[in-house]
Amino acid sequence: MLTIDTLALEAESAENAAFPALYLLLCDGNVLCHPERLMAWLDESYLEGTALDSRLRIGVVNGSHTAYVLTLETPEQLPIALHQLEWMPPRALFRNLQGMDFDALSRALQLSNWAKEHRYCGHCGNPTKIHPSEPAQHCESCNALYFPRISPCIIVLITRGEYCLLAHHTRYAQSFYSTLAGFVEAGESLEQALHREIREEVNLKVDNLEYFGSQSWPFPGQLMVGYIVSYHSGDIKIDETEISDARWFHYTDLPDTPTRVSISGQLIAEFVARCEHNAIPATD
C-alpha cells in the first residue's frame, strides 16, 4: 500500500514523463479503497483492457511516480482482479487521511468533477477534450479553454479571551458545532467577505483579523481561507436559515467539533493551544 510523502503539481517534463503511472479510481463519487479504508493506488498492470484516455493528471508522488485519477462510468467497468476492493464515499475517508494523502484525494475529486461539468463548451455547445499541454478542457470548434474552477471561502474562528464562538449548522448532527464559513461573493475581498458573513450569520463585529492558513476542500471545489479574529461588539443573533445555535464556549469545555483533518478543526486546536500557553489576552 502506497504512502504519499510528497506530491508535486509540476508540469509534465522529459524526466517525469518516464515515471511509472499510478491510478486512483473513482465511480459515482466514490473512491476505490482497500478494506482498511486506505486509498487503492494501482499500477497499469491492474488496468489491462481499461480505457485510459480520460485519465487526469494529479501530479508526481514521492518523486518517482506520476499519479492519475481515472473515473469509471459504472462499477461494472472495474477489472475482475480488483473486485476484492471496495468503493467508499470520500467523506468517510477524510477523517483518517493525513498530509499528502488528503491533498491527492482532494485534487483527484476536484479534477474529476471539473471534467464532468465541462464535457461541452459553454460558448458553442460542442464536446470538449482534455488539452494535450494545458490543464484544461479544450473546445476544438471555437478554441475555448476551461480550467478547473476554485471557489474561495472564508472560514473564521471568533475569540473572546478564553472563549470562542462556535455554531451548530442546520445540516450537522445535533451535538456538533463548528466555525463560521461562507463563500466570497463576486467583487469582494477576503476581509469584506469575512465581516459580511459574520454579520449575516451571528450579527457580531470583529477586529484583529489574523490569517491562519488555507485548505483545499473538494465538496465540490472550495479553497478554505482561515482566520482567527477577535470579538469587538454586538450580541449574538443567528441567521436561522443556516444556523440553529451559536454560543461562546470556554476552551476547556468544547462541544463535539471537527477533527484536525479540516481547517475548522485546526483553527479550534490552535485557539486551545494558545489558551493553554496564555497566548490570548483576557477580555470582558
* Residue 161: pLDDT over 70: yes
- What pLDDT, on the 0 to 100 scale, is given for residue 1? 65
Query: Mean pLDDT of all residues in the chain?
Result: 92
Domain-embedded: residue 11? yes
pLDDT in tens, 116-131: 999 999 999 999 998 8
Domain-embedded: residue 271? yes
Q: Which domain holds residue 51?
A: 7-117
Domain-embedded: residue 281? no
Domain-embedded: residue 146? no
Average pLDDT over every residue of 152-174: 94
Pair 221, 271 in one domain: yes
Pair 160, 267 in one domain: yes
- What pLDDT, on the 0 to 100 scale, is given for residue 35? 86
Grid coordinates of 229:
479574529
Which own/partner contact pairs does 149-152 have at CB distance under 8 Å and 24+ positions apart? 149/114, 149/221, 150/110, 150/221, 150/222, 150/223, 151/183, 151/184, 151/221, 151/222, 151/223, 152/183, 152/184, 152/190, 152/222, 152/223, 152/225
Pair 162, 108 in one domain: no
Domain-embedded: residue 129? no
The last residue of one of the domains, among 92, 117, 142, is: 117
Pair 15, 60 in one domain: yes
- What pLDDT, on the 0 to 100 scale, is given for residue 112? 94
Measure the CA–CA gap between 96 and 33, rounded to whole angstroms: 13
* pLDDT range class, residue 280, cuts 50, 70, 90: low
Beta strand extents in the chain (DSSP E only): 7-8, 21-27, 30-33, 42-43, 56-61, 65-72, 86-88, 129-130, 137-138, 145-146, 151-160, 163-169, 180-183, 205-217, 222-233, 243-250
What CATH number is associated with residue 197? Answer: 3.90.79.10
Pair 85, 160 in one domain: no
Pair 272, 155 in one domain: yes
pLDDT over 70 percentage in the chain: 97
* Residue 281: pLDDT over 80: no
Pair 107, 158 in one domain: no
Pair 40, 104 in one domain: yes
* Residue 184: pLDDT over 90: yes
Pair 76, 155 in one domain: no
**pTM reported for the whole predicted model:** 0.88
Domain tally, the chain: 2
What CATH number is associated with residue 36? Answer: 3.90.79.20
Pair 12, 80 in one domain: yes
Pair 60, 167 in one domain: no
Average pLDDT over every residue of 9-23: 84
* pLDDT range class, residue 198, cuts 50, 70, 90: very high
Domain-embedded: residue 206? yes
Average pLDDT over every residue of 185-200: 98
* Residue 251: pLDDT over 90: yes
The last residue of one of the domains, among 66, 100, 117, is: 117
Which residues lie closer than 8 Å to 135 by C-beta, 6 or more apart? 57, 147, 148
* Residue 14: pLDDT over 80: no
* pLDDT range class, residue 166, cuts 50, 70, 90: very high
* pLDDT range class, residue 89, cuts 50, 70, 90: very high
Domain-embedded: residue 92? yes
Beta-bridge mates of residue 231: 206
- What pLDDT, on the 0 to 100 scale, is given for residue 282? 52
Domain-embedded: residue 2? no
